[in-house]
Structure 1
């Protein structure tokens, strides 16, 4: 139901599952395992997997912290989009990659929930994509020292509000890893 013309395909969008981003993340191992199972399933079902990788002064390009976690490895043919802003579409090749793949629906996983995941969800939705968040396949670190709620509440709140997000001609929602349907609503 995307508003993008001639874009019938779905892609799994894996955001910033990098060593330095998820090192202290809430339920890190379970989330990475869920992402890994979705990557494996997407590959079996011939659904494109698109990886996003953040770089900035704390995640220096080429450093160990910048690298995607060792449990997850992009396949040679899978695009890796580098970014330096929260929204994975801002000043990147992501839109071109998705257009070439004829993708109009995104299944979104990754880190951090309250930063790049939220920004990318909103960015994709406003650009016309159907955007599904996998509720048990995104995470964040503890930012309570800066006034944020505890990570579990940040994740739960994001899952709640995204499950009720909507707009004309597009779909949004939150599903569990076990309920992901890459064929999606049509």
Structure 2
């Protein structure tokens, strides 16, 4: 139902599950396990898996912190999108990768909830995509020392407000990892 009528397919987009990003993140192990399960299911169902990997001055390309966590491994056939901004679409190849695969519905998981996840789901929605946020497959580190709410509240709030997003001819949804539907059907 996206505004991209020639793109009937769904893709799993895994964002920034890198050592330096999720070290010490809230419920790190269970979130990574949920993402691993999603990746395996997507592969089994023939759904494209697209990996996004951030780098900047604090997350240097090629460093151990920059690497994806050991529990997740990208197949050589799966696209890897390098990014330098919060929104995975900004100055990247993500739009071209999705277009080539005929993708109009994104299932999003990864890190960090209050930064790259939020930026990307909003960026996708404004570009015409249907966006499903996997409610138990995104996380963030604690930023309360800078005035942010506790991380569980950040995650809960993101899941809450994303479940009420709306725009013409697009659907936003939040589902648990176990309930993700890779067939492309999106419902509220």
TM-score strictly above 0.5 = yes
1:100-139 to structure 2, matched below 5 A, reads 100-139=100-139
Partner residue in 1 for 2:184: 184
**Structure 2 length normalisation: TM-score?**
0.98
Partner residue in 1 for 2:160: 160
Q: Distance in 2 between matches of 1:16 and 1:128?
A: 22
Partner residue in 2 for 1:144: 144
Q: How many residues align?
A: 186
Q: Distance in 2 between matches of 1:184 and 1:79?
A: 20
2:12 aligned with 1:12:
yes
Partner residue in 2 for 1:76: 76
3-state SS in 1 of match to 2:167: coil
Q: Distance in 1 between matches of 2:95 and 2:101?
A: 10
Q: Distance in 2 between matches of 1:184 and 1:103?
A: 9
Cα deviations by residue, 1:130-154 (Å, 9 ceiling, x for unpaired): 0000000000000000000000000
Cα deviations by residue, 1:97-137 (Å, 9 ceiling, x for unpaired): 00000000000000000000000000000000000000000
**Structure 1 length normalisation: TM-score?**
0.99
Q: Distance in 2 between matches of 1:28 and 1:16?
A: 13
Cα RMSD (Å): 0.7
- After the TM superposition, list the runs of 4 or more consecutive aligned residues in structure 1 that deviate by more than 6 angstroms: none
Structure 1 residue 183: Cα displacement: 1.1
List gaps (5 residues or longer) in structure 1: none
